[in-house]
Amino acid sequence: MPLNKYAPQVATHRRTQKAILEATKELIATTGLKKMSMIEIADVSQVSRATLYNHYRDKESVLLALCESELARLVEIAQNAPDAATALEQISLQVSSDSALAAMRVQDPEQLTVALAKQEDNLWKAFSIALSHLLGEEKGALALRWLLGQALHPINALQSRSQAEAITSIANL
């Protein structure tokens, strides 16, 4: 008898969620946030509309799940980095090169600005806590502001490395 008889269902659920979130990110990058619909998300993710609505009640809940997934991915990158400067550099590169953020800067700047300004949101608080664990409270807050700025004004790889090193080398504020 299998340890968990629901394991195949859980795996299918996770694959479906991953497909939906990847499709959402792709649509943001190609059509923009405002123009994207639940129908398009279902079509691009190759799931039925019923399946999409079984996972998410509306576009906002899909977007929230995408944000949670992306921030968790960035935290995982930081946790797997050999040191704090490399962690910040790798997160910086991800933020500055993200195609969905690039599209939002052009097509949906208002929504991007509003999302970045919601620093009292639980997602931002969780990400801030993760950065604080990595760097200490003061440097974590500085790093968060630095990374948020890159969502609006991306930087190149050389800048990412030198600025990450500068943040991590700052004496306690």
**Domains plus CATH for the chain?**
7-169 (1.10.357.10)
pLDDT (tens digit per residue) in 88-143: 999 999 999 999 999 999 999 999 999 888 878 888 889 999 999 989 888 999 99
Q: What percent of the chain has pLDDT over 90?
A: 78
CA distance 164 to 146: 9
Interacting residues of 18 by C-beta distance below 8 A, sequence separation 6+: none
Query: Mean pLDDT in the chain?
Result: 91
3-state DSSP helix/strand/coil % of the chain, to nearest 5: 80, 0, 20
Interacting residues of 26 by C-beta distance below 8 A, sequence separation 6+: 44
Q: Which amino acid is at 138?
A: E
pLDDT mean over 59-73: 94
pLDDT (tens digit per residue) in 76-102: 999 999 999 999 999 999 999 999 999
Q: Between the CA of residue 162 and those of 47, 69, 100, 130, 153, what are the distances in Å?
A: 43, 27, 25, 21, 16
Q: Is the pLDDT of residue 15 over 60?
A: yes
Q: Is the pLDDT of residue 1 over 90?
A: no
pLDDT mean over 23-42: 96
Report which of residues 71 and 118 the model is more confident about.
Answer: 71
pLDDT number for residue 118: 84
